[in-house]
Every structure is written in C-alpha cells, then in structure tokens.
Amino acid sequence: MTLDEVAAATGFSRTTVRFVVNGQAERFRIKPQTREQIELFIREHGIVIDRTARSLRLKRSDAVGLVLPDLANPFFAHLTAALEDLCHAAGLVLLTTSSHDDPAGEARAVARLLERGVDGMVIAPCSPVAAIPKASGRRSCAVVIADRAFPGQPYPMVVTDNEAAGRRLTEILLTERGDAVFLAASRWLPSVEERIRGFLAACADHGLDDGEARIFSSDSDDVAAGQRLMTEVMASRGGLPKAFVCSSLLVFEGALEAAGARDGLPPGMLLGTFDHHPLLDFLPNRIVSARQDEKAIAEAIFQCLADQMEGKPPRAERLVIDSRIWRNGDRP
C-alpha cells in the first residue's frame, strides 16, 4: 500500500502517516493515540514500507554505521545498545561492524558502509588516521569519533574523562593500600595513555617517584594479556601487589586468573579496573572501578551526528563525558 492508501484507510493526512512511518511522530508532536492507530493498521495489514524510492529521491538512507574494535567488549556493547535506541527513536537504522583492531579491517568496514549509503558513521578508530572518503553521487557522510581521540581529527570526538578517572581511582587504591601497579593493554591508544597519566599523577601525589616502573603493558587487549602481565608483576615484585588496576575488563579477567591460580586471591588485595560488569559485585575482594556513562556518551555522539545530517559542518571539538567511581556493593 502507498502512503496515500494508508492515509485514506485510517482517515489521517498523508503527512501525518509519513511522520509516523518515518519514526518522526514525537518530533512533529503527533498525538500518541494517532500514532498508535496508524501503527496498528500497518501491523494488522502486514504492510512493509519500501524505503528504496524515498532513499533515491532524497539521497539519504536513514542508516547510521558504527565501526567498533571489538563487539564483545562490554563498554562497546552497552554503547551500541544506547545508540541503537536513539537511532530507533529517530527513525534510523544502526548498522554495526567490527574492525578487530586492524586498520585494514577498519578501512574495509568503512568502505562497505559507505557503499550502502549510510548518512552517518561513528568510529572508534584503531589507528591515528581514520580515512573517511566521501561517497560519490551523494552528500557527505556525517562522522563522529568515539572513545579514541587520536589528535588531528577533523571530526567531533566524544570521550570519557579517562585521565581524571584514572587519578581518582588510583588515589583510592594508594590511600587504602599504599601500593598499586597498573596493567595496561594497547598503551598506544589515547584512552589508555590518558588513564596511565592519571595513575602517574596519583603516584606523584603520594610521593611515589617510581610510577613508571609500576606500569606493565602489553600490545594486545585480551584475557591472555592480563594473565601475562600479572605473571610479570609477581616475578618482578616477588609476589602479588597489595592493589592493582587494569586498563580494561579483559585484562582484569586475565589478571584475576593469574593472581588466584594457586591459592585464590588474598582477601586483602584491592582490585581496580575501568568499565563495569554486574559480576564484579559478586567477587569477594573489594573492587573500585571507573564506570563510563554509555548513555550520556551515546547521546553526545547522536547529537553530533544529527547536527551534521541537518547540514551543519563538522566541528573538530572534543566532548568529554564524566565517569563515576564505583565500588562493589554500590547500586549501579
């Protein structure tokens, strides 16, 4: 059925039906009862809206691409869910793919999304240079950089207050235990380097001049890296540290396995990590984590996309979203 036929059958104007079909009922203040009647009619008659002709006419796809390093990462999974909700409410579809932290894979993912005519793209880049070519025969694609703020990007970047969070987190560990080490994966990433700067600043605040020696790093960000790093810590320090902080949950998982391999974790060991998972609340040791606000990050990203998709030029600005320090036992 055409929009005109749906309008005639429901008794509403073609414009009203179009707003509802395109997911813009709230934006144009369509009454909830009206929207419900139109959506019920569409469902009951099994109508599927073919958007191809509209996309060709308007030269837009109502689709947004999302390129992430690892879809299994809890932070990126939560960010994807939050962005998907925002896209759905605006009548857009979110197309998600992974680069697997490979620049060539990232380039392929970007190219394929552009081939599908996405109107906007969100990228958590895995290299300092994320080449975003313009698609031929259509308007430019809106671009927003998420989480990894490599310098020199001509696009808006939405990140967490990594350095401040790292400093606050380490401050707690050093105040309570007087000792801490940092297990860092992929130190070349801006987000990880910022977290390390926060760690070093807290060490300096506590009069520790060996902050750099307390950092153990790996090129890969996975469970195996966490195991290797904790094994290295124990070998170099002659045993387990009183407290440690990890740059990611994957490294944290591996560090826990290595630390507790023999006799389990010492009850007094204080654990620190970035990002959050509900299972942390069930560990017997005290845990301190810097929890990112995925919803606020997604809202900032979406606003930057919306501005560009409405014709505003991209601004090379850095938007920083505050995280909060969480302890197991706190309410999420």
Alpha-carbon distance values, 163 to 193, 199, 328 (Å): 8, 8, 22
Burial of 107 (C-beta count, 10 Å sphere; 0-12/13-18/19+): middle
Measured CA to CA, the distance from residue 256 to residue 77 in angstroms comes to 22
User: What's the pTM?
Assistant: 0.79
Q: What is the pLDDT of residue 50?
A: 57
Q: What is the pLDDT of residue 53?
A: 52
Each residue's pLDDT tens digit in the chain (332 positions)?
677 888 888 899 988 988 888 777 877 888 889 989 988 888 887 776 655 555 544 556 689 999 999 887 888 999 999 999 999 888 889 999 999 888 889 999 988 898 888 999 999 998 887 656 554 444 578 999 999 888 888 899 999 999 999 999 999 999 999 999 999 998 889 999 999 999 999 999 999 999 999 999 999 888 999 999 999 999 999 999 999 999 999 999 999 999 988 778 888 899 999 988 888 888 889 999 999 999 999 999 999 999 998 888 888 899 999 999 988 766 44
Asked if residue 172 lies in contact with residue 325, where contact means CB atoms within 8 angstroms, the answer is yes
**Domains of the chain with CATH codes:** 3-49 (1.10.260), 61-159+294-322 (3.40.50.2300), 162-291 (3.40.50.2300)
Q: What is the pLDDT of residue 206?
A: 96
Q: What is the pLDDT of residue 48?
A: 66
Question: Which residue, among 319, 323, 327, 272, has the nearest Cα to 75 in the 3D structure?
Answer: 323
Six-digit token string for 304: 């930057």
Q: What is the pLDDT of residue 14?
A: 85
Asked if residue 224 lies in contact with residue 255, where contact means CB atoms within 8 angstroms, the answer is no
* % pLDDT > 90, the chain: 52
Measured CA to CA, the distance from residue 327 to residue 73 in angstroms comes to 20
Measured CA to CA, the distance from residue 87 to residue 287 in angstroms comes to 34
* Structure confidence by residue, pLDDT tens digits, 280-306: 888 889 999 999 999 999 999 999 999
Q: What is the pLDDT of residue 133?
A: 57
Asked if residue 141 lies in contact with residue 314, where contact means CB atoms within 8 angstroms, the answer is no
Asked if residue 245 lies in contact with residue 173, where contact means CB atoms within 8 angstroms, the answer is yes
